[in-house]
Structure 1
């Protein structure tokens, strides 16, 4: 079975030419066999910013039928040193530049410019401006001002969701 899928421009990198593709069936279950990316169009549709992809899946039990609705997942790659932060921790300057407030080594609030290169779920992938171990302020932002002394605490996911 072949699958054509449009992917937003810039979301698929060349190193994915041999990416595994996973199908999620209409009932939410994952199809047990992986597909492989077979074809990637070289032209971008200017009106949508999309490219066409084709993946091939083994279908020995004839589970996949023509016209069936499925969703495809393509691994874009793994970046082991990636920094993901909650979207509510990123603000924008009037010029549109992304910034975060961090707690520096003097326990003071510091504004730091960052490059938020991609949204992944409810988080931003930060490609520049932060390093591992930086403490990003994600709650109480309206009270935090650069230069103020603060005491950092760690939010658990339940704490963050309730704020």
Structure 2
């Protein structure tokens, strides 16, 4: 019994090794439409027809509203009449100018008469150009009576009904279209964290390995993981003076339109890779009253020693070690309550989850 009581306590240990580690941060985010297009009339008139259903998917070029075309059709016909009149004047002036040019060669008309005929022809030709431009303008404005979708997207609520008088370039949109596949996710990160990340990237302790931007994964408000991975597309160039935060913008596929503009999401952003990271299981770490972290390290003689450590990120139940431990160290993860610094122990390899 005495020999059994004096046996060294048994402890479970794991041997630390370096491996690549993806540095990620969890940040709050909010979704925003990829494209937002308020549809404003480009001519004044009475709405005769609305040709879409609110909330429906709209294709670019679809007619959304029909504004009364009658006055614009009349304006087009008037412009076409003016063009015909100007063209007729050219047809009349051209042979007169040609005749005077021939007569001038034999001194049958004066130089002044010739120049007057040629000037009249040039004026009439200029009038044709102006009239043709007026026809084009009138035709364009007639086309504007069909209010068309500038983008493909989802139609919001219609702000105007049939019979409403709308005005050219008015402040209030008739309807707003939203395109949200893909969708933006805007997240905020403290400027201090961004500076620390850039310092690590510059020093080479972290590197980026994601072509096309850092990867981003989302968790929805109800706790479900969002099935599509996005990419970071933009990092803000200024700091919000009120919050000290920088806005990061990601582009995320949204084929099922599960995400809607304005939703709150939880974002995990992978910002770099540490090629030789040392990870220690969470259960190997203890803390003193001052909050200092330490771990039991078993030496080659099977004697444990408490080692103060500096920890970094937490990932999958392990801490990233910044200082205090090295690859090959055997750290205690089971039975640490039974050991004394320097007293022999019986280590065995602990099972890792």
TM-score range, shorter chain: 0.7 to 0.9
Cα-to-partner distance string for 1:73-121 (whole Å, 9 max, x where unaligned)? 2113222321222222112234432211111111110111211122334
Rounded Cα–Cα distance in structure 2 between residues aligned with 1:30 and 1:113: 39
Q: Is the counterpart of residue 93 in structure 1 residue 288 in structure 2?
A: yes
Structure 1 40/155 Cα, relative in aligned 2: closer, same or farther at 3 Å? farther
- Larger deviation: 20-29 or 110-119? 20-29
Aligned residue-pair number:
157
State the secondary structure of the residue aligned to 1:142: helix
- Matched residue SS, 1:137: strand
Tell me the residue number matched to 2:346. Answer: 151
The C-alpha deviation readout for 1:9-60, integer Å capped at 9, x for no partner, is 537723469412233455735433522241246537787x754322123446
d(CA) in 2 for partners of 1:23, 1:121? 17
Q: Is the 8 A contact 2:216 2:267 kept in 1?
A: yes
TM superposition score normalised by structure 1: 0.74
Distance across 1 between alignment mates of 2:240 and 2:279:
28
User: 1:90·1:100 contact (CA, 8 Å) conserved in 2?
Assistant: yes
CA–CA separation in structure 2 for the residues paired with 1:102 and 1:52: 42
**What do you get for the CA RMSD once the two structures are aligned?**
3.1
The residue aligned with 1:32 is 228
- Tell me what 1:2 maps to: 184
Structure 1 contact 24–31 (Cα < 8 Å) conserved: no
Q: Structure 2: how far apart are the matches of 1:135 and 1:27? A: 37
What TM-score comes out, normalization by structure 2 length?
Answer: 0.38
The structure with the largest alpha-carbon Rg is 2
* Partner Cα separation in structure 2 for residue 42 and residue 152 of structure 1: 54
C-alpha separation between the residues in 1 aligned to 2:319 and 2:267?
22
2:262 aligns to what? 67
Cα gap change, 1:93/1:64 in structure 2, threshold over 3 Å: closer, same or farther?
Answer: closer
Can you give the 5+ residue segments of structure 1 that lack an aligned partner in the other structure?
Answer: 159-163
Task: Select 1:122's aligned residue among 293, 297, 317.
Answer: 317
Bigger Cα displacement from structure 2, 62-71 vs 149-158: 62-71
Aligned to 1:72, what secondary structure does the other structure show?
A: strand
Structure 2: how far apart are the matches of 1:45 and 1:103?
A: 49
Which range is displaced more, 76-85 or 140-149? 76-85
Whose relative contact order is higher, 1 or 2, with alpha carbons under 8 Å and at least 6 apart? 2
